[in-house]
Amino acid sequence: MDLRRLKMQNAEFPINLGRNRKLDSFHAPEPNRGTMPMRAFTAARFFASCILAACGLFLAGCASPQPVHPQAATNDVRLPDYWKPHLLYLLDSPHPRLCVEADAVEGCVPGDATLKKLRDFLSTHCDKPGGIDVVRGKVIRRSAARGVAPEVLARKYVTGPPDRAAAPPPAFLCVLFYDGVLCDESAAAPGRFEAMAPRFRLPPPRNPCTTYLPYPLIYMNMRYGPKFTRDVMLQHEAGHILGLVNRTNDASGHHCVDPNCLMHNTIDLRISRLLLGRNPMDPRQKQLCQKCLAELAEDSKQPPLTNLCFVGPVLVRSEPGYHVLSLPGRAKVIVGEYSEQDCRDFAAAVWAETSSFAEEQDTATLKDMEMGDPAKTNEIILRAGADGYKPVRYAMTEVCWKGGLFANAVEICRQSILLDAMDDWSCNQLAWIKATCPDASFRDGKEAVSAASKACELTGWKNGDWIDTLAAAYAEAGDFKRAVGFEEQAMRTGNPPESDQKEMRDRLSLYKQSQPFRDKP
């Protein structure tokens, strides 16, 4: 942590507001409020304040956070130029209204004052002549949230704006208020944190954060930082939703460099103010600086977006010939035209999921394309396969493989590897096609071994599925001894489920008989 200022009479220590940084805060024990002489009380208060400062400085010095670029939460190194969802919130078109949904885990439900401050902040900076509605969403049972990642909770419980047939469709924003300790706690040991006294409970490593791609959403961990800082942290994250800080000057890591700005990456708590019985936060940090205000004003002059819109809670990005439908951690690609019913079906499928995994999943549909021009269809497929967002490329690879469009699948994999040399998934998928494709014209054992080896190296030989692909590649190349060895290694790596182990045993049997494996998409 950068402990910017240390003074004998005004010790300051930061609380991190960054979206992808480690914990930089602490919880202070409540002072003893029992009856005692004023002098004793003053001395105790002074002693407690000293302990508070010492603990803050100690934790600040030991946290050693590793700064991460805010965009690392997306699946690409930088946000693509087409991705400007903040304009959906700032501008009056295409959505003249804004609906904010506040979902919360039991015990983390925000107060009316907190939601009012959020609404006031958005109303100040967003041009929404139809109004801004802040609605309370579902209250999630603690038993349902225990051990479940907040990303999964957001995906499962987001509802979308209330149906108002006479009103124009609104832009949509979800805020999840959750318990970071509860989400990190194992469901097999309920209550082990609750049994601890609050003053001895260390805050969890999850900090309030904002996601951009593929879906804008605010995550508010109600265990992070002192309570009196949380409204400011919420407004800070709302500032990120509105596009702050994207300027190149006077900014660092998508944060303002002005220490007195709401969008600075730390909050300064001043012991001198605490000793005087005042809120230790510097009141100047509750406001945007002039440069951030100027940035919002400049963005508000931008032309309305034509490639992004909300359909209920679903965010739709439209590209020539295809569309990307998004919800938290989920994306669906539709090649061809989409309808509102497609969005409803997509949302229903996501809400029906029972998986508790936080990993992103993606699907694709070639809708009504079989009646079109094959050359044009091929062009659209390849364009979608070169999309700047990885899950779109992955989805297109899968749909082409399963649909027998092997040439397209190979081309998309190669294009994806060119876009990202560290893309182990595309390396593995290319190797699998080259090793196991039922069409002999697409098989190439040498290329399969090269691509599969790279995928294994990129994952440190810890992915059993990738090693399984390498075994198939060596079998296609005619080296069955290595195929057997790598298949046995794959079965020992990562504790694969029984269904996968059965398939691996079947392939192992083929390799021992000097036979390669052929897949059936």
**Residue 217: closest CA among 57, 101, 113:** 101
pLDDT at 243: 94
368: confidence class by pLDDT, cuts 50, 70, 90: low
Section 411-439 average pLDDT: 96
Section 278-305 average pLDDT: 90
What is the CB-side half-sphere exposure of residue 266 using CA atoms within 13 A? 22
Residue 29 has pLDDT above 60, yes or no: no
Overall residue count recorded for the chain in this entry: 521
Pairing verdict, β 132-140 and 98-105 = parallel
- % pLDDT > 90, the chain: 58
Amino acid at 363: T
pLDDT at 25: 29
- Are the C-beta atoms of residues 135 and 162 closer than 8 Å to each other? yes
pLDDT at 138: 87
Section 362-370 average pLDDT: 68
**150, 234, 424 from 111: Cα distances, Å:** 20, 13, 45
What pTM was computed for the model?
Answer: 0.79
Residue 508 has pLDDT above 50, yes or no: yes
Question: How many Å apart are CA 319 and CA 387, to the nearest integer?
Answer: 9
Range scoring the smallest mean pLDDT among 20-29, 188-197, 293-302, 359-368: 20-29
What is the CB-side half-sphere exposure of residue 456 using CA atoms within 13 A? 22
pLDDT at 356: 66
Please name each of the domains of the chain with its CATH number. 72-261+281-299 (3.40.390), 313-399 (no CATH), 421-521 (1.25.40)
Residue 386 has pLDDT above 50, yes or no: yes
Range scoring the smallest mean pLDDT among 90-104, 190-204, 296-310, 384-398: 190-204
- Are the C-beta atoms of residues 148 and 265 closer than 8 Å to each other? no
pLDDT at 487: 97
Section 49-65 average pLDDT: 37
pLDDT at 79: 65
| Triad 352, 357, 360: Cα angle to 5° | 85
pLDDT at 358: 63
pLDDT at 374: 80
pLDDT at 378: 87
279: confidence class by pLDDT, cuts 50, 70, 90: confident
By three-state DSSP, how is residue 251 classified?
strand
36: confidence class by pLDDT, cuts 50, 70, 90: very low
**Residue 414: closest CA among 457, 370, 444:** 444
Q: What is the end-to-end Cα distance of the chain in Å, rounded? A: 51
- Are the C-beta atoms of residues 413 and 438 closer than 8 Å to each other? no
278: confidence class by pLDDT, cuts 50, 70, 90: confident
Residue 441 has pLDDT above 80, yes or no: yes
List the structure tokens of 359.
């990993």
Section 9-29 average pLDDT: 30
Tens of pLDDT, residue by residue over 454-500, are: 999 999 999 999 999 999 999 999 999 999 999 999 999 988 888 89
Rg of the chain over Cα atoms, rounded to whole angstroms, equals: 26
Question: How many Å apart are CA 233 and CA 236, to the nearest integer?
Answer: 5
Section 20-44 average pLDDT: 31
Q: Which has the higher per-residue pLDDT, 17 or 91?
A: 91
Range scoring the smallest mean pLDDT among 41-45, 182-186, 394-398, 418-422: 41-45
In the predicted model, what is the mean pLDDT of the chain?
81
Alpha-helical regions (H) of 305-423: 340-351, 374-385, 390-402, 406-419
Residue 332, Ramachandran bin (φ over 0: left; ψ between -120 and 50: alpha; else beta)? beta
| Triad 195, 198, 199: Cα angle to 5° | 130
Q: Which has the higher per-residue pLDDT, 337 or 451?
A: 451
Residue 21 has pLDDT above 50, yes or no: no
